[in-house]
Amino acid sequence: MVLSREKKRLRSDKLVLKMEFKCVRCGQCCKNIRGPQMGQIHGLMILPEEVDLFPKGLVKPMIRYTHNARNNPGQVWMYQVDAEICPHYDEKEGCLIYDDRPALCAGFPFELSASKLVIHGACPEIMRLRKAGIKFEISASCKEPLLKIRRHYDIHLNTPEFERFDLEENRWRHVTEGLTKEHLRLLGRR
């Protein structure tokens, strides 16, 4: 009787391993930094204070206030790197600026989207952990850069009067131009 109760308990209990996610520096996130995002083509997002980390010819504006904006008309407040592969990625060495990498890179594969945490499936380590059924938590080293980006957005996203730069079309587009109904819903616009 005792043995059967123990077996029943073992079958019903789930063993959940929890671990802190740690980047294994495989370079997958460095190899495809330009692509579609919310109806436009964008590069790796970088904050204004990170612009000097990249060659000037690769840095393009990403988001600015419209020229009609009440505050800071025309001011660019987010930049992007226009490259397929990060210029700091080396096949043998990995990220050559790992300790000083941009906030988006330091937070990868996590991203704060609206009020929730999004996990990118492009990360092989995340996929390995998920497949193994291991629960993971965001580490402080990933969380702080994400909060830095969120604070930057919170300062600037207080107005609908901004535009995004489309790398494929090489032009500014109003933030809602080209967005699907789902994108608009995510932005809180109907």
Instruction: Give tens-digit pLDDT for 110-168.
Output: 887 656 677 877 788 888 888 888 777 777 777 888 888 888 877 776 666 788 888 98
pTM of the entire structure?
Answer: 0.76
Residue 7 lies in a domain: no
Residue 22 lies in a domain: yes
Q: Alpha-carbon distance 81 to 60, whole Å?
A: 6
Dihedral sign for Cα 46, 47, 50, 55, please: positive
Range of the domain at 83: 15-186
Residue 175 lies in a domain: yes
How many independent structural domains does the chain possess?
Answer: 1
Q: Alpha-carbon distance 26 to 143, whole Å?
A: 20
pLDDT band at residue 86, thresholds of 50, 70 and 90? very high
Residue 171 lies in a domain: yes
Write down the pLDDT at residue 111: 80
